[in-house]
Structure 1
Amino acid sequence: LDNAMAWARPDFLLVNGTNVFLYPEGRSLDFPATVTVTTHPGWQVVTSMHSGGAPRTYREANYHDLVDMPFFIGRMDVDSAQISGKWTRFASYPAGSFQGRMRDSLAKRISRVIPAESAVLGETPWDTYSILMIFDASFGGGSALEHQSSHVGVYTPFLGTPGADTILTSITAHEIFHAWNVKRLRPADLVPYRYSASQPTTWLWVSEGITDYYADVALARAGVLDSTAFINAMLSNMQTVGAAPPTALEDASLSTWIHPKDGSGYIYYPKGSLTGFMLDIMIRDASDNARSLDGVMRELYQSTYKRGRGFTGAEWWATVRQAAGGRDFAEFNARYVDGRDPYPWATVLPLAGLRYVVDSVQQARLGISSNADSTGVHVMEVTAGGVAEAAGVHVGDQLISVGGVQVQNAAWATRFRQLYDGKVGVDVPITVRRAGQTVSLMGKSRTVPVANERIEFDRNASPRAVRIRNGIIRGS
């Protein structure tokens, strides 16, 4: 399944315009187009394309708009609601795959998220927004692709279950914010769209990363995430970035086109989000919370998109500088966007009444690398000097149990650490399967120092810092 392609099943058709509608080479793309859908009477058609005045007839004023309006055609579940004075459609395929309480929950959450996002840019720019969802058991995870008044998502059914629904809401919030940031407000490198050649840009950290930031911000302002969950989302991004090779944001932004193999691909999402978070704090601190990154996005939206063009790097930093009361961000850009310096959380977070804390804890480790497959969990490497080596574990052994914990998948390690963290010299019974035989071994527990990172709300924060923190989370 591919949300960027056009494909069909016996009861369904996904149409992406760039795959279906041809354009005349060498001629202007500013020509009107009409699309008529002829299909089974009982099937439904969902698109954000404007009505053409006749049943199942649609029109757009130019080729760019024509190909940016995907269609769902077939048997599916469809609901509509007015949000921020505009219609929002929820369409899911296959019929019956996403219903009941979870569907209602997503609709209620999005009814709060859209107003929070609209408030950042100052308008709701569509006539109708279509949330187009495909659920398929063969698909792992979730993937969505933005369009100017809709998005197409393909998801594992697990994301439509209790406990995973916040992930689905987050993806949806991200894609909806793209209706402003990328589909309308976008770097000059991407204006106008070209269909015959790639358009690399070093600004995906804004287009994708800051979109990710505002998805989390909107979830917090909409009450989907509480303040602790929002801060933990920022912490998760910090940990993701910390585990990746040091990579300049401008370089990372090009990974969509060059596909690096060093683990830095797509790091512009979490690192770009963190850059937005840091800029938001610094702008609010410089203005005593009178201005923010919200204002930067809104000003650029008005001064570039509304005038039919994209923003340049000089315009981005000039708008940031103006919002921060004239503060120069040249060093910031050189160190944290064009450079690879670690972010200064120890000095930036206190400006928002937050503390970055790193504790060293003694964590139990068995001393192996393992791999789980359909036959079980197998030892791939044994660390010298570890518990497993001393007990006699071999590469190739299948783990059956460790310390009384049954080993059925990768989750066993978490339970093992819960039982043995902080304990040294305690017996650790280990059962393995080796050459068709069950072998019982015994080791002695050991621990290693591990950094435990967290972000805390500073109880001694100044009133100014508290205003900044509340301004980010509440939108004030």
Structure 2
Amino acid sequence: MKTLQAAFLILIVQLAFSQAKNQYRISFENAIHHEAKIQVTFPDIKTDTLSVRMSRTSPGRYALHEFAKNVYDVVATDGQGKKINVTRPNPHQWDISNHDGTVHLSYILFADRGDGTYSQIDETHAHLNIPATFMYAPALKDRAIALTVEPRGDLNWKVAAQLNDAGNNVYTAPDLQYFMDSPVEISNHTVKEFKVTSNGAEYIIRLVLHHQGTEEEANTYFENVKKIVLQEEAVFGEYPKFDNGIYTFLACYMPQVSGDGMEHRNSTILTSTRSLANEGMKKNIGTVSHEFFHAWNVERIRPKTLEPFNFEEANMSGELWFAEGFTSYYTNLILCRAGILSQEEYIKGLTKTFNYVWNSPARAYFNPIEMSYQAPFVDAATSVDPVNRANTFISYYSYGSVLGLALDLSLRSYKNDLNLDDYMKLVWGKYGKTEVPYTKEDLQNTLRQYAGETFANNFFGKYIDNSQMPDYKTLFSNFGIALLNNTKIPYHGIPITFDNNQTIVSSYPKKGTPAYAIGLSKDDIILDIDGHSFTNKKELSELLNNYRPGQEATITYKRFEKEIKTEITFAVNPNFEISLQEKPSKDALAKREHWLKAK
């Protein structure tokens, strides 16, 4: 019976692909100069003109990226090989007319940035992000796609992707959305796998590792990947139904790539210049934790504002504080539960993000929803004019992370049997497992269902719809955690960089700081404080030891080649240190252990 069912499924797939499908072919003869040769066939065209484009966006990114700039030598022919007309109505589009129902298109792609957004081609690999690589026809978005890869045999290249493997280096996708969401790593890589089960289904978790390290390093790293995978499943209670029963980590840890991580439906891109030697093992693993959590939160628990994903314009979403921010909260929490970080390391590690959000003047302008709206301007977006982000923007990753922390600790303090894990399970069951896109109101209603109307309205009313900050000191104390700041350290608030024996104001000072109050600005050069010069961090620290908060000093700086003297009044350092209490109560210790222990 199973054999007949399998044969029937194969027949269905074959029938589907016997219909008109778009066919791509890519080769890398000139990889040494970062070029790929790409050929595309669009058959059975019913319109007089076929419009093809390069995407301006990429799944997982929220800003525009002009991929068309790296495409050239575009040639179009019809089904008989006759060259046909190509016009450019805009920078991203090619209109092809006078065809005979078939269009053959060829072009060269230049690609030399290896990360989660772009593509990189050299003689170590072909690292392909699909929107940055392949032209597409919007009118044919529902067609199946077949991609033929010609790997460099002389370089021992192999192909890895979440695409359906049809054999003989042919990979298929059911439609354009799936194709665009399916990165490809072609290299002489290592593959490691292990199996997990969920609701009676078995899945393969696969690590594709392109690096210059040892087999021992790869094995050690894979053991940590396994721990993360198991702890994240425990949060949601089950794995997603991975297509083809496989989830793939495409890890490229090579010196020429750019550090990044990018989630996809059944795979993720992990890139870093760090090898797995020394500190690289621990520094790279956080991206594994973050991106795999996205297999639930973002890929399937998906904001309605990201559906359908637009390849021509940026999707604006107000839910990134949850989609990215809550994922960021779980990133290091999972590492702690997996034993990769100690409890002390995890708690101390909260400090930097907490201070960034707590001390930001940007909360006076935007709440977490409105911070999320700014993603098209900040998510690897580029601009040449200066911006005032230090005063107007808090990353939705960081903002959402400290709010996820607050919600988790608040739930655990409110009632002993409540916690963020179980809230996430409920959201998963309603909007992730069913793949019904959610709104902010859906998240609030689910919290009402889980913790009661008063609790949910209070949290969303104060911290999501507005930009108040929770009472972290009390929340931390409930779990044996100290939140302290040193009131004896003088604070000037001058963002400083030391360059060629000069002390330079490196960015625009934050509102509310002594530096802002005296009118310092980016690129000012600090000459001295009370006549004492300094050219490095150590000298400045030693000088500041002579002052206390509330004291004044004369600061001399240069702007536009003119020396200016003014008085600065040192303030109390607003930054906190987060650490474990030396003698927590038994109740606090028990709560902390329940929160941070392996599940």
| 2:199 is equivalent to residue 113 of structure 1 | no
Q: Distance in 2 between matches of 1:200 and 1:257?
A: 7
Aligned counterpart for 1:278 among listed residues 395, 400, 406: 406
C-alpha contact (below 8 Å) 2:491/2:573 kept by paired residues: no
| 2:323 is equivalent to residue 207 of structure 1 | yes
Partner of 1:252: 371
Partner of 2:23: none
Q: Distance in 2 between matches of 1:281 and 1:364?
A: 30
Q: Distance in 2 between matches of 1:252 and 1:452?
A: 22
Partner of 1:48: 162
How far the C-alpha of 1:26 sits from its partner, in A, is: 4.5
How far the C-alpha of 1:423 sits from its partner, in A, is: 6.2
Q: Distance in 2 between matches of 1:368 and 1:18?
A: 41
How far the C-alpha of 1:207 sits from its partner, in A, is: 0.9
Classify the secondary structure of the residue corresponding to 1:341.
coil
Tell me which structure has the larger Cα radius of gyration: 2
| 2:413 is equivalent to residue 301 of structure 1 | no
C-alpha contact (below 8 Å) 1:281/1:468 kept by paired residues: no
C-alpha contact (below 8 Å) 1:346/1:356 kept by paired residues: yes
Q: Which amino acid is 2:311 matched to?
A: Y
Q: Distance in 2 between matches of 1:71 and 1:139?
A: 15
Q: Which amino acid is 2:158 matched to?
A: Q
C-alpha contact (below 8 Å) 2:362/2:393 kept by paired residues: no
| 2:178 is equivalent to residue 60 of structure 1 | no
TM alignment of 1:199-238, pairs within 5 A: 199-238=315-354
Q: Distance in 2 between matches of 1:308 and 1:371?
A: 47
| 2:207 is equivalent to residue 90 of structure 1 | yes
TM alignment of 1:428-439, pairs within 5 A: none
Partner of 1:431: none
Q: Distance in 2 between matches of 1:369 and 1:312?
A: 38
Q: Which amino acid is 1:49 matched to?
A: L
Classify the secondary structure of the residue corresponding to 1:197.
coil
Q: Which amino acid is 2:316 matched to?
A: P
Q: Distance in 2 between matches of 1:335 and 1:364?
A: 30
Q: Distance in 2 between matches of 1:114 and 1:460?
A: 33
**Residues 13, 449 of structure 1: CA spacing in aligned structure 2 closer, same or farther, 3 A cutoff?**
same
Q: Distance in 2 between matches of 1:414 and 1:472?
A: 39
**Residues 134, 377 of structure 1: CA spacing in aligned structure 2 closer, same or farther, 3 A cutoff?**
farther
Partner of 1:372: 498
**Residues 39, 240 of structure 1: CA spacing in aligned structure 2 closer, same or farther, 3 A cutoff?**
same
**Residues 331, 359 of structure 1: CA spacing in aligned structure 2 closer, same or farther, 3 A cutoff?**
same
Partner of 1:413: 537
Aligned counterpart for 2:578 among listed residues 440, 452, 455: 455
Aligned length: 426
Partner of 1:442: none
**Residues 243, 102 of structure 1: CA spacing in aligned structure 2 closer, same or farther, 3 A cutoff?**
farther
Partner of 1:122: 237
| 2:472 is equivalent to residue 345 of structure 1 | yes
**What per-residue deviation string (whole Å, max 9, x for no partner) do you get for residues 174-233 of structure 1?**
111111111111111122323233211111011111111111111011001111111122
**Residues 322, 287 of structure 1: CA spacing in aligned structure 2 closer, same or farther, 3 A cutoff?**
farther
Q: Which runs of 5+ in 1 are unaligned?
A: 400-411, 426-446
Q: Distance in 2 between matches of 1:424 and 1:207?
A: 44
- RMSD of aligned Cα (Å): 3.3
Partner of 1:470: 593
Q: Which amino acid is 1:145 matched to?
A: M
Q: Which amino acid is 2:355 matched to?
A: Q
How far the C-alpha of 1:265 sits from its partner, in A, is: 4.3
Q: Which amino acid is 1:351 matched to?
A: N
C-alpha contact (below 8 Å) 1:368/1:388 kept by paired residues: no
Q: Which amino acid is 2:326 matched to?
A: I
Q: Which amino acid is 2:403 matched to?
A: T
| 2:270 is equivalent to residue 153 of structure 1 | yes
| 2:252 is equivalent to residue 134 of structure 1 | yes
How far the C-alpha of 1:448 sits from its partner, in A, is: 7.9
Classify the secondary structure of the residue corresponding to 1:281.
helix
Q: Distance in 2 between matches of 1:63 and 1:14?
A: 19
| 2:459 is equivalent to residue 360 of structure 1 | no
| 2:103 is equivalent to residue 103 of structure 1 | no
How far the C-alpha of 1:171 sits from its partner, in A, is: 1.6
How far the C-alpha of 1:112 sits from its partner, in A, is: 0.5
How far the C-alpha of 1:392 sits from its partner, in A, is: 5.2
Matched residues, percent identical? 20
